Structure 1
Amino acid sequence: MAERAQYVTLGVADELFAAPVEKVQEILDMQPIARLPQAPSTLLGMIDVRGQGIPVVDLRLVLGLPPASDTESTRIIVLALAGQDGDLRLGLRADRVFEVTVLDDETLDPPPVVSGAWAGHCIAGIGRRNGRFVTVLDLERLLGPFQDASRAA
């Protein structure tokens, strides 16, 4: 039997999201972030991870949610993404991280087709975990605009 895909589940506001575990390198407690001048509002700045500068993006702002203060649950998920010019390491600030898990069903539902203006392009699919909807993020599409910014940093 094939192994089922595993996901890191994370919370932003009251919503439950998931990232494929193979893209997650590590999960860090919140730490000071060095701001970058004239960076887009979603790009919080840079952190140092074992001598390497990693840009950090606020998932709340990327998703169009209002900003929130850090809490003791706030985490930075360090991701390894496939970029056009090779791999990209990027930090993603989330309100909280829950667990590494499999979803209730290994098949994801496609994003709903609601209107042409919202195509759900940054959603890999919709799953369920313990009866709750889980939005599985397409991290490359969601964070693609930051690939150029991280190369410039």
Structure 2
Amino acid sequence: MALSIESPGNATVSSPSQYLTFELGDEMFAVGTLNVREIIEYGPITSVPLLPPSIRGVINLRGAAVPVLDLGVRFRGERTVQTSRTCFVIIEVQASTLRKPVGIIVDAVSEVLEIAEQDIEPSLNFGTDVRADFLLGIGKLESGFVLLLDIGRVLSLEHVDALVNLESPQPSTA
């Protein structure tokens, strides 16, 4: 099963795009709202053996098993510590002809912002623990900057393979 991520990529649009902003450690990140399905309270995660360390397991979302990616592990090698504001942001990815939900753990969700193209600078390779190729760019805000994630790159081939395996039924050996 092929899995791809729909993201704004290198789109060149003149109208502002909407981004959901969230905190992870001391940094502010954002993902395009077109990728966001919902935000839910942090809850129990069921571990699944043999997954990459940044995929913490699955959660039960209205009866469906949804894989959960810990961005703290992915970016800094450190598990995200649960607080009263920690939550799951459920994003949708394209898997073959179906859209599948994937959760990301964040320290806290902030707000939805509109950021115009002229307020987005190319990503830089310094000053952050996040690889520059994980970023669409850096959004300039009145209060500072926000790192715009390219969720397709954050979910690398290693993660795509693990997520596909979670979604695929395993053959019976009986």
TM-score class, shorter: 0.7 to 0.9
TM-score, normalising length: structure 2? 0.77
Name the larger-Rg structure: 2
1:106 counterpart residue number:
117
Structure 2 partner of 1:152 = 165
Residue aligned with 1:80, SS:
strand
Q: How far did residue 65 of structure 1 move? A: 4.7
Equivalences for residues 47-86 of structure 1 within 5 A:
47-83=59-95, 85-86=96-97
Deviation, structure 1 residue 132: 1.0
Partners of 2:125 and 2:24 in 1: how far apart? 23
2 CA distance for matches of 1:51 and 1:30? 16
Does the aligned pair in 2 maintain the 1:81–1:139 contact within 8 Å?
Answer: no
Cross-structure match for 2:18: 6
Q: 1:136 aligns with which of 148, 151, 161?
A: 148
CA root-mean-square deviation: 2.0
Change beyond 3 A, Cα 1:141–1:29 = same
Extract unaligned runs of 5+ from structure 2. 1-13, 167-174
Identity %: 29
Query: Which digits, 9 at most, give the CA deviation of each residue in 1:79-117, with x for residues without a partner?
Result: 01235x3433210000110011113x4331111256xxx
Aligned to 2:44: 32
Which sections of structure 1, spanning at least 5 residues, go unmatched?
none
Task: Please name the residue that 1:41 is paired with.
Answer: 53
List structure 1 segments (4+ residues) > 6 angstroms apart after TM superposition.
none
Q: Which has the higher helix share?
A: 2
Structure 2 distance, partners of 1:143, 1:15, is 19
In structure 1, the residue corresponding to 2:154 is in which secondary structure?
A: helix
CA contact (8 A) 1:28 1:76 kept: yes
TM-score after normalising by structure 1? 0.86
